[in-house]
Amino acid sequence: MPNEAQNEEIRLSIGGLTHETWDGWSVESDLLTPADGFELELYTKDATRLPSVLAEGAPCSLTLGKDRVLTGQIDEFEHDISRQGIFMRITGRDRAAPLVDCSAPFVAMREASLSQILDQVVKPLGIDQVEIRAANAKTRRRIQIEPGQTAWEALLQVAEANGLWPWVEPDGRLVVGGPDYNAAPVATLVMRENGVGNNVERLSVRRSIANRYSQITVLGQHGQYDNDGLDTKRSHLKSVIQDETLARRGIFRPKVIIDSASESQDMATTRARKLLADTRLEGFEIRAIVDRHRADNGQVWTPGQRITVRSEPHGLDAVYFLMSRTLRVTRSEGCIAELRLREDKMWVLDGNPTKKRKGKKADPDAALIELYKGL
């Protein structure tokens, strides 16, 4: 079967002009890293002057075939002229770039909704398309943004307080929410020992016990005489979450976190579940190299997709979550995509809860057992 993705060019659109002939390019996207980035390279002997629309800070977009893969800005460009020819390199990031670079406006509100905080922190920096993608957006009683804190740090603080996560879609929309774990897998990666049906160039699996815990306890701490109107019972909040996978192996690695921001039992439990899930995410990763930029269903590889991995040498046969990917074309390697996958249903547990079916027991959150209680 011919690889159609190898014939697709990445098209840069800027100021009404487009260009799609490059000697090399890459587009990175990672849900855990703000501001997806891109790099374009071109060697030529034809043009000595760059178009006036190519300027640092100029808005731009990248399209692969008919699919938008990034909307953002030009960060930097290099124009090198020598006897050998002309070399151009263009780098940029998506619309999260101003949030990462710039300080947040000072905001100090109580009983402010998530949407209100987004309006006062995000929109002043030019982000006009915001979507809250969650089952229910909770409110936090007190949000304090320190002077000098970047807008992205403030946004992340607010999102995590609500059990959510921010990212930017390829069309430029800022989304605050969680992944859709009900979505069907977009592809199946196969590595068999006899080589029959293999469709990956390389597959590596990393497992680690470092910074992973069998049990996390979150204690809510609050002075009972601050007279600030907050619940004084916070000094007695306690939430304990256990990783059953490590418990079955007889591994005991406890961790205690004091969280003064936990204002209720629900917030303390959400915080504990997230912390334990994060440690599991860091303890397992699949890195796959494939020779195509699209999944089996024709979609461009995009973080947030679910992928089935079947590898006999690694003992894998399950669905995993695509956390990051890099699309790349180089002279030496040709068309490749690097996919990094983590455990499924383990990231942003409370952002977009899976729907429960009648008559069936709900699937536990990947072996996490909730043991919280208020003392």
DSSP 251-295: ---EEEEEETT--SHHHHHHHHHHHHHHHHHHTEEEEEEES-SB-
358 has a pLDDT exceeding 50? no
- Give residue 331's pLDDT band: very low, low, confident or very high (50, 70, 90): confident
What single string gives the DSSP state of each residue in 46-107?
Answer: S--S--TT--TT-EEEEEETTEEEEEEEEEEEEEEEETTEEEEEEEEEETTHHHHHSBPPP-
State pTM to two decimals: 0.85
Residue range 122-141: mean pLDDT, rounded: 77
Q: How many CB atoms lie within 10 A of CB 126?
A: 13
Amino acid found at 109: M
**Which CATH superfamily does the domain covering 4-94 fall into?**
Baseplate protein-like domain - beta roll fold (2.30.300.10)
User: Cα separation of 239 and 272, whole Å?
Assistant: 7
Residue range 15-31: mean pLDDT, rounded: 95
Beta bridge partners, 320, equal 307, 343
User: Looking at the domain 99-177, which fold is it?
Assistant: Phage tail protein beta-alpha-beta fold (3.55.50)
User: Cα separation of 264 and 161, whole Å?
Assistant: 12
Length of the chain, please? 375
Residue 369, classified by CB atoms within 10 Å of its CB into exposed (0-12), middle (13-18) or buried (19+), is: middle
User: Cα separation of 170 and 325, whole Å?
Assistant: 13
Q: How many CB atoms lie within 10 A of CB 58?
A: 15
Domains of the chain: which residue ranges? 4-94, 99-177, 215-282+351-370
4-94 shares its CATH topology with 99-177: no
Q: How many CB atoms lie within 10 A of CB 62?
A: 25
Residues in CB range of 249: below 8 A, 6 or more apart: none
Q: What percent of the chain has pLDDT over 90?
A: 56
DSSP assignment letter at 347: S
For position 359, what pLDDT does the model report? 43
Mean pLDDT of the chain: 85
Tens digits of residue pLDDT in 189-216:
999 999 999 999 999 999 999 989 999 9
Residue range 349-374: mean pLDDT, rounded: 47
Q: Are 70 and 37 in contact (CB under 8 A)?
A: no
For position 145, what pLDDT does the model report? 74
- Give residue 264's pLDDT band: very low, low, confident or very high (50, 70, 90): confident
Name the residue with higher pLDDT: 29 or 282.
Answer: 29
- Give residue 267's pLDDT band: very low, low, confident or very high (50, 70, 90): confident
Q: Are 375 and 238 in contact (CB under 8 A)?
A: yes
Angle at 326 between CA 321 and CA 332, to 5 degrees: 135
From the list 71, 139, 63, 149, the residue with the least C-alpha distance to 105 is 149
Residues in CB range of 99: below 8 A, 6 or more apart: 34, 35, 122, 125, 127, 150, 151, 152, 155
Q: Which residues of 78-106 are buried (b: 16+ CB within 10 A; e: fewer)?
A: eeeeeeeebebebbbbbbbbbbeeeebee
